[in-house]
Amino acid sequence: MDNKNPINYLEEDAIFHLRTNRSSYVIKVQSNSYLIHVYWGKRIDGGSIGWYCEAPYRRQNRIENNSPDNPGYTSEFWPYEYPVFGSSDFRPPAINITNSEGYSLNDLKYKSHRIYKGKNRNKNMPSLMEDNDKNIYSLEIILDDKPEQVQVELLYTVYPEYDIITRSSRVDNYSDKPKVLNEIMSSSIDFKDGQMTMVQLSGTNLRENHIIERELTAGTTSIESTRGISSHVQNPFFALKRKGCTENNGEVFGHTLMYSGNFVYRVHIDQYSSARVQTGINKDTFTWLMEPGKSFMTPEAVLCFSDEGMNGLSRRYHKVFREMMPQKIRKEERQIALNTWEACYFDVSHKRIIELAERAKQIGIELIVLDDGWFGKRNDDSSSLGDWDINLSKFPHGLNGLSKDLKKMGLNLGIWLEPEMISPKSNLYKLQPDWCLHIPGKKRTEWRNQLVLDLSRVDVRQYIYKKVLEVLDNSGISYVKWDMNRRLTEVGNSILPPERQAEITHRYTAGLYEILGKLVRKFPSVTFENCASGGGRFDAGMLYYFTQAWPSDNTDAISRLKIFYGSSLCYPINNFISHVTSVPNHQIKRSTPLSFRIDAAMTGILGFEMDLMDLKPDEIDLIINKVEFYKAHRSLIQFGTLYRIKSPFEGNQAAWMVTSEDKTRCIVWFFRFHSEAEEAYWNIRLTGLDIEKQYKCEATDIIYPGDVLMNVGLNVPWKQEDCLSHVWSFFAI
């Protein structure tokens, strides 16, 4: 076996061995040509493991006569790499195709394979990039169902340096008759056992990405979305961790999907306590008609194994998402923004924005984001979505005039848009009432006084692209907040035939990606922010196009700590923007100290969303000092390596830190939410440092040995007050 090549085919044993720097993934072709999953876990280098596959690695007492060559072969005893529907395997399938006679029975067998450097990715869907300077290799395995004349290609790409393996699937109909694709998974993995804890990110609007853990048990456990977007309720990430796995130790298997539509992740524990783990498009809202000669390709699943606990898993995901995404500005420091929403709501004007900008400049803000209310007749949320023309009574000099005035002050201009929506009270709706998602003759749900434009239609996509182009061209705008404030309902249209109506949710997502791809290529220097009523579409698919995301419309500092902590399991913190807002908080009416709000918001991309004219002199001084600190450490905060220390889901405190790659600098955050009588305090044990180095605290000049900070810990100053926060910076001497 070639230990330098990340993908090896061991012909004697018919085994594929995929390896990253720290993990192995092994597949075998059985003697009857079925593809079997063998192993995924810590890297192994010791020769052949063909003996491991001589029989199913479970239920040995039931299979004496169940060899692959026996006519009585029973599928449900075997760990398949890509299981099919209709055979004697009664566990969930990875693919289900109905032929023209109405039968659903597939029999996919190994036909061929190809190993090559680089990646043959789907250019119309988001996926991790290849890099000619990296040792990235791909494996394509062709499975063939000759009687049905259907072929499935399994694509694996190995990113050794990142400990990442991606998977996707493509099905081809090479018969002369149409077929219906009822279900197709991006990945399917059969584990020997199911003794694991499932970690998921769940919640709702204003309470996104809370960490939920549960032990796997008999039956099927799933997380999914049927809302047309990945949703606030379930994030398209989950992990399976072995017993004893902590933040810094133990084995964990991560799964995420680069997809922003309806998805399903499921873990099926069978009667023998073995686990089948699958990720893909949600079949409840999906079928696809495959005409002769046509194909369908799935979104890409991003798989990661860590033997260094949840922090190790997060570090791997953060690194690959930062470095293997296409945005040209992904490594640039993000600017500090003032968003006008909670300062003005719909009451925006040229004069009001300039007034705010003068105060913003004073406290160190670099970017003004003009939120809702600048277009059409938009004085509340009842009208004008779709009519993306500047309101000249509010902005007599246009967006370009506003941008020029801000530039004179040394500030940049950003804009809020919601291009996927249409208001029934709009010029566009009067002209094109058929352009929204709807089922002819049925009620159209006007949630938030708006409907959803049908992005499955070419004419609608062309209109959206044209209108956004008009807003951005020659306007001086350097930042776009792309919002999406409702779910998809009445999913249908009057164009597609009945047999294709169930394709619309996926076509909508693909249509969105088409628009975004054209825009980010057209405006490579514009920062695009992803928002969907907060974190309603916070996923790796959107991260492909957007350099940052708005995790939640809940700007309360304590609430944001939990949202940040959960989101950080998968997504890099320089993707999160957090705003300092006024109190009582506009969403949950809680009051927290200004210092606490700023400390919480500077974890990631710092921003503000408040009426700066209401600030008192001492508050202005505090903000100036905090902003100066943030700017001095911005590169480390946004691009450092994150280590979670104390979970806000497990008590009254939270703590985390970021370190530089060379471990010479770090920033540490500590938060206590509420004052408790005689509350127990423990030192914060840091991690990710060099035990041989000495670290100096920037604020106190105290010098700490690295091993002391990691083993004894950092003492937390105690005060009897609510919402206590501390931020320390250290540098090696």
72, HSE (Cβ side, Cα atoms, 13 Å) = 5
CA distances to 76, 278, 499, 596, 662 from 92, in Å: 11, 9, 24, 48, 46
Instruction: Say if residue 190's pLDDT is above 90.
Output: yes
Picking from 122, 121, 153, 119, the residue whose alpha carbon sits closest to that of residue 137 is: 119
Place of tokens 């169940």: 66
Dihedral sign computed on CA atoms, order 534, 540, 546, 549: positive
Mean pLDDT of all residues in 128-148: 92
Two tokens at 507?
């076509």
Instruction: Say if residue 2's pLDDT is above 80.
Output: no
pLDDT tens, position by position, 499-534: 999 999 999 999 999 999 999 999 999 999 999 999
Cβ contact 264:222 at 8 Å: yes
Looking at residue 619, its pLDDT comes to 98
Phi, psi values for residue 529, rounded to 5°: -105, 130
Reported confidence tier of residue 1, pLDDT bands at 50, 70, 90: low
CA distances to 81, 126, 491, 673, 717 from 725, in Å: 49, 39, 47, 9, 10
Specify the CATH number of the domain 648-732: 2.60.40.1180
Name which of 132-136, 331-335, 549-553, 683-687 the model is least confident about.
132-136
Mean pLDDT of all residues in 100-125: 93
Place of tokens 């799964």: 255
Cβ contact 56:77 at 8 Å: yes
Same fold, 82-323 and 648-732: no
Number of neighbours of residue 373 by Cβ within 10 angstroms: 22
CA distance 331 to 642: 16
Place of tokens 């609608």: 460
Mean pLDDT of all residues in 557-575: 97
**Residue 618 appears among annotated catalytic residues:** no
Cβ contact 581:614 at 8 Å: no
Mean pLDDT of all residues in 550-571: 98
Place of tokens 């200004």: 594
Reported confidence tier of residue 722, pLDDT bands at 50, 70, 90: confident
- Model pTM above 0.85: yes
Cβ contact 692:253 at 8 Å: no
Looking at residue 675, its pLDDT comes to 86
**Residue 690 appears among annotated catalytic residues:** no
pLDDT tens, position by position, 59-96: 444 444 555 566 666 788 889 999 999 888 999 999 99
Mean pLDDT of all residues in 132-140: 88
Picking from 632, 630, 626, 655, the residue whose alpha carbon sits closest to that of residue 643 is: 655
Looking at residue 219, its pLDDT comes to 97
Looking at residue 363, its pLDDT comes to 98
% the chain with pLDDT above 70: 96
Structural element, H or E, at residue 187: strand 179-191
Dihedral sign computed on CA atoms, order 431, 434, 438, 443: positive
Instruction: Say if residue 280's pLDDT is above 60.
Output: yes
Q: What SS3 state is found at 28?
A: strand
Count Cβ atoms within 10 A of the Cβ of residue 343 and give its class: 0-12 exposed, 13-18 middle, 19 or more buried.
buried
Looking at residue 329, its pLDDT comes to 64
Looking at residue 50, its pLDDT comes to 59
CA distances to 82, 99, 168, 441, 444 from 125, in Å: 22, 27, 11, 33, 30
Looking at residue 60, its pLDDT comes to 47
Q: Regarding the domain delimited by 337-419+464-485+532-636, which CATH topology (the fold level of the hierarchy) does it fall under?
A: TIM Barrel (3.20.20)
| Active-site residue identified among 483, 539, 556, 599 | 483
The per-residue pLDDT of the chain, averaged, comes to 94
Looking at residue 52, its pLDDT comes to 59
Looking at residue 328, its pLDDT comes to 65
Reported confidence tier of residue 48, pLDDT bands at 50, 70, 90: low
Strand spans (E) along 192-259 = 196-204, 207-215, 219-224, 234-242, 252-257
CA distances to 394, 675, 725 from 718, in Å: 50, 10, 10
Looking at residue 61, its pLDDT comes to 44
Looking at residue 47, its pLDDT comes to 62
DSSP 115-179: EEES----TTS--PPP-TTS--EEEEEEEEETTTTEEEEEEEEEEGGGTEEEEEEEEEE-SSS-E
Looking at residue 421, its pLDDT comes to 98
| CATH pick for 82-323 out of 2.70.98.60, 3.90.45.10, 3.40.920.10, 2.30.42.10 | 2.70.98.60
% the chain with pLDDT above 90: 88
pLDDT tens, position by position, 469-502: 999 998 999 999 999 999 999 999 999 999 999 9
Mean pLDDT of all residues in 677-696: 91
Residue ranges in 536-652 assigned as alpha helix (H)? 540-543, 557-567, 594-601, 617-639
Structural element, H or E, at residue 269: strand 263-269
| Active-site residue identified among 190, 553, 556, 599 | 553
Angle between helices 350-363 and 617-639 (to 10 degrees): 80
Helix-then-strand count for the chain, H and E = 12, 36
Instruction: Say if residue 273's pLDDT is above 90.
Output: yes
Mean pLDDT of all residues in 671-686: 87
Looking at residue 88, its pLDDT comes to 87
Looking at residue 414, its pLDDT comes to 98
- Per-domain residue ranges of the chain: 82-323, 337-419+464-485+532-636, 648-732
Cis status, amide bond into 584, omega within 30 of 0: yes
Q: Which residues pair with 659 in a beta bridge?
A: 641, 666
Phi, psi values for residue 123, rounded to 5°: -70, -15
Instruction: Say if residue 143's pLDDT is above 70.
Output: yes
Looking at residue 70, its pLDDT comes to 65
pLDDT tens, position by position, 295-344: 999 999 999 999 999 999 999 999 999 999 987 667 889 999 999 999 99
Instruction: Say if residue 260's pLDDT is above 60.
Output: yes
CA distances to 2, 9, 137, 542, 602 from 19, in Å: 11, 12, 10, 28, 37
Residues in the chain: 733
Looking at residue 58, its pLDDT comes to 46
Mean pLDDT of all residues in 103-125: 93
Reported confidence tier of residue 136, pLDDT bands at 50, 70, 90: very high
